[in-house]
Homo-oligomer: A and B are copies of this chain.
């Protein structure tokens, strides 16, 4: 039941945001009583945090491993493209093969990422260590780069990446079917190079 509640909450929060979802909707979707949500998670916000944490832990582990593996395999010969690929690819992979729960999750993170009041603080709580690992690894790949530039690069990267992973369907409508949000192979073929080239241009 605990997992069923998390799954239902994840999907709903992803579609309508924190305030756009009621505990009753979550309960109905999960097929349980409203009170059960409070029994397991307490207040609504704590449920949200539980949803957020569940996959964040997995993601942080995979990304840390991915970057560490890349660095170990290319001692002294790291490129920004390689580091960035190691940083992003675990997410693309999960989105492509992890099932609909992961798609919802990324849409959720994208919203939080762009939420002013508590979004920055939430991202900070769950994702800061792995981002610092990215920036530090990039610094080792390009020692002459300024830290400020690297942080800005991360900002641009995460904005582009999360919007793309959230698959809002905007690009489908805009390009009149030429591009498809769901075509993550097309993203893979472009996003990494895009971000790497941007970084090279700034350093």
**When A151-B175, A151-B178 are in contact, do A170 and B124 touch as well, CB less than 8 Å?**
yes
List of B residues within 8 angstroms of A92 by Cβ: none
List of B residues within 8 angstroms of A156 by Cβ: 160, 163-164, 190-191, 194-195
Q: Is chain A's interface secondary structure helix, strand, loop, or mixed overall? A: helix
Q: Decide yes or no whether A114 CB sits under 8 A from chain B.
A: yes
Looking at A14-22, A35-43, A54-62, the stretch in contact with chain B turns out to be A14-22
Q: Decide yes or no whether A159 CB sits under 8 A from chain B.
A: yes
Copy tally for this chain in the complex stands at 2
Complex: chain B residue closest to A179, CB-CB: B151
Least Cβ distance of A139 to chain B in Å?
12
In the complex, what distance in Å separates the CA atom of A163 from the CA atom of B110?
A: 10
Where the two chains meet, the residues of A that have a C-beta atom closer than 8 Å to any C-beta of B are 14-20, 107, 110-111, 113-117, 119-121, 123-124, 128, 131-132, 147-149, 151-164, 166-175, 178-179, 186-187, 190-191, 193-202
